[in-house]
Amino acid sequence: MTISHLRFGEEPIHAPYLIQEANFLACHQWQFIERYDMLKLLAPGGVFLLNSPHGAAEVWAKLPRRVQEELIEKEAKFFVIDAYKVARENGMAGRINTVMQTCFFAISGALPKDEAIEQIKNSIRKTYGKKGAEVVAKNIAAVDDTLAHLYEVRVPAEATSTIEMQSPVTDDAPDFVADVLGKIILGEGDSLPVSCFPMDGTYPVGTAQYEKRNLAQEIPTWDSDLCIQCGKCAMICPHAAIRVKVYEPSVLMTAPEGFKSTEGKDRSWQGLNYTIQVAPEDCTGCSLCVDICPAQSKTVPNHKALDMVPQAPIREREKKNWEFFLEIPEYDRRNINVSVIKQQQLQQPLFEFSGACAGCGETPYLKLLTQLFGDRAIVANATGCSSIFGGNLPTTPWSKNKEGYGTAWANSLFEDNAEFGYGFRISIDKQREFAIELLKAHATEIGEDAGARIINASQKTEADIYDQRQRVEILKSKLAELNLTEARELEGVADMLVKKSVWIVGGDGWAYDIGYGGLDHVLSSGRNVNILVLDTEVYSNTGGQASKATPRSAIAKFAASGKAARKKDLGLMAMTYENVYVASIAIGARDEHTLRAFLEAEAYEGVSLIIAYSHCIAHGIEMSESLHHQKAMVESGEWLLYRYNPDLIAKGENPLKLDSKAPKIAVKDFLQLENRFKQLEKTHPDEAAKLFAEAQHDATTRYHLYEFLASRKFSATA
């Protein structure tokens, strides 16, 4: 939630920036009116503007009683508009800023109405002109259409609503979440005493599940008859708000009315039921799941196994379905074939409901990481988008399963995150080494066979990890019976005998630029760490500055005339060490390739580097169409898919596998899909022609280089 304070006057204003009494107050999201005290700062006699899906005749009955009482008490003037409808009908999707700005000037009196409207249109021409005449026309049409859909609502003399304000968190939230984090969610964090916060700075995980944001105007609904059970929808969901479960039919005996289920189609699911379920209050309505769904009806046009429908009418029903779905037992991880998406997506995500942008390109990779390894993962995170949506107060999306296993996450500075994660690995290895020393020293008390089984245990599969955890729990029980100082020491490090998966995560600004020195140091270390670079090709979190990952011809801050230099090839640089696993992936272009890269990287006993293309709203794209952009990027050769696995050298195989096919569209065809490139043609057409040609040369040359490297012959002694 963003709060903006503005003052208008004919003379320069000398006053505090923050406003304690507002003559005009607007609420841009309906769900805020249900949860927050939106009218607290409205002055008596002030104007309240509400973006409402309910019309002027029905909106009063939909307001919580407290809101009605405040409007009456303050003798407020009340206006409503369905800004989303106006924006949508004018081809602007969910972009309501122009609509709401027009409403302000039309009713606030800050400027004469006609003059204000003309100034808005001039501003649109100036601001959006470089994005093309079509964008300008849409915004100007929205301005004119706004005035026809803006209504004043007469405020009755008494409150009639029986609707109560919603709690900031769900009823089942733990005390700390309800009493501390709930206050922060409501914007009342300044009222909390220091004593209520954790003394050591650690916070409980999995708190985002209690904060129901209700952002989506529309959410997906599932057609179980049409579904082919591929799991792609769950894999691409940026917020873990759509999930898959397979279970015994007897579970349905207590299912709520309307809960959808069908027979499992996979050979290993015979006799079991299958459900895809959406969390209605956590879904952001990005529609990527619908976009990626391959199951289309042959008889009903535009109908898929997933379709977007209005959220409000089905919210309560789907809330009950979601609550029931969560209680269905998780499928045994030991019986899942993790190399096949439709089975792998049965793994519970331990990164859920983040506050990232709707349709975020980074979060699906993090969610996948937690599904595969999250119950034993330790993540070092570089400051950036992933730290804001990952650990910003009040809640965190990093979670744990019902057994209490989950990802340990900590944020570090931009410049030293690689070293930070490297320290995790060194510490874990040292503690494991110490635990083995103690095991051997006390083999008599513990049992030589038991100790040997723990030390020599294979920990490559989910079944291996499960068995090792069982052995360690038995060991800890034995240690509790021994009255030895060394036993207590071993008990303190025994958990390090179970494999830990260390991940170093950050964006391209960290990996390519500010943190590259440390990253290179870790790449050369040979240690068993995994590095995940969420490459948006720009400094996304700080406003869109160019990085060394920004491709040639892209417009960004510090590259207003298009970036003149080519993109740094981080993957090729890492491959020169010859003992680093390197993969370049794009989940929207080929999801099965992404899954394979994660599995290979974590299995490799050394440094692994995954460079993951992450589309971003800063690219100037419709986020709902982002998967098509990823495919076009790969098809043009602007982004390559490949895997470099040093383990193959010993087998006499070439370690580099070029997984991209030869480019089949021109680079320019991709560049013209995104405003970050397209703007250059509007503002600097001559420079655009030059840089676009150079970008084509970059892509062609790079593809041929990788093609050559991937075709080399290797021997086992190479």
- The torsion angles phi and psi of 79, rounded to 5 degrees, stand at -125, 145
Token pair 């440094």 is found at: 607
Q: Identity (one letter) of the amino acid at 351? A: F
- Count CB neighbours of 683 within 10 A: 15
pLDDT of 269 reads 97
377-382 vs 501-507, strand pairing mode: parallel
Take residue 2 and report the two structure tokens written for it.
């963003």
Cα Rg of the chain (Å, integer): 28
Sign of the dihedral defined by the CA atoms of residues 196, 199, 204, 208, in that order = positive
- The mean pLDDT value of the chain amounts to 94
Question: How does pLDDT run across 84-121, given as a tens digit for each residue?
Answer: 999 989 888 778 988 999 999 899 888 888 888 898 89
How do 377-382 and 408-412 pair as beta strands?
parallel
d(CA 86, CA 147): 10
For 458-506, how does the pLDDT look when each residue is reduced to its tens digit (9 = 90+)?
999 999 999 999 999 999 998 888 877 778 889 999 999 999 999 999 9
**Residue range 298-331, pLDDT digits in tens:** 999 999 999 999 998 999 999 999 999 999 999 9
Assess contact for 464 and 457: CB atoms under 8 A. yes
Question: How much is the pTM?
Answer: 0.93
Which is it for strands 22-27 and 42-51: parallel, antiparallel or unpaired?
parallel
Q: Over the stretch 39-94, which tens digit does the pLDDT of each residue have?
A: 999 999 999 999 999 999 999 999 999 999 999 999 999 999 999 999 989 888 77
Residue 612 CA from chain centroid, whole number: 13
Between residues 488 and 658, which one has the greater pLDDT? Answer: 658
pLDDT grade for 717, boundaries at 50, 70 and 90: low
Strand order across the beta sheet in which 273-278 lies: 242-247, 273-278, 262-263
Structure tokens given for 193? 């005493």
Task: Give the residue-averaged pLDDT of 499-523.
Answer: 97
Identify the weakest region by mean pLDDT among 192-206, 238-252, 414-428, 633-647: 192-206
Helix or strand or coil: residue 400?
strand
Where does the pLDDT of residue 139 fall: very low under 50, low under 70, confident under 90, or very high at 90 and above?
confident
Q: What is the 3-state secondary structure (H, E, C) of 510-533?
A: HHHHHCHHHHHHHHCCCCCCEEEE
716 has a pLDDT exceeding 70 = no
The 10s digit of each residue's pLDDT in 223-271 is 999 999 999 999 999 999 999 999 999 999 999 999 999 999 999 999 9
Residue 714: predicted pLDDT: 80
Please give the domain boundaries of the chain with CATH numbers for all domains.
22-153 (3.40.920.10), 175-202 (no CATH), 218-347 (3.30.70.20), 427-497 (no CATH), 536-710 (3.40.50.970)
Rounded-to-integer distance, Cα 270 and Cα 260, Å: 18
Q: pLDDT digits over 562-617, tens only? A: 999 999 999 999 999 999 999 999 999 999 999 999 999 999 999 999 999 999 99
Burial of 10 (0-12, 13-18, 19+ CB in 10 A): exposed
Task: Give tens-digit pLDDT for 675-715.
Answer: 999 989 988 999 999 999 999 999 999 999 999 999 998 87
Structure confidence at residue 718 as a pLDDT band (50, 70, 90): very low
Q: Which pLDDT belongs to residue 575? A: 97
DSSP 304: B
Q: What is the pLDDT of residue 127?
A: 81
Tokens standing for 353?
């409901």
- The DSSP H or E segment spanning 491 is helix 485-493
CA 252 to each of CA 70, 224, 473, 510, 618: distance values in angstroms, whole numbers, following the listed order:
45, 15, 34, 48, 44
SS3 string of 35-72?
A: CCCCCCCEEEEEEEEEECCCCCCCHHHHCCHHHHHHHH
Nearest to 242 by CA among 227, 256, 263, 257: 227
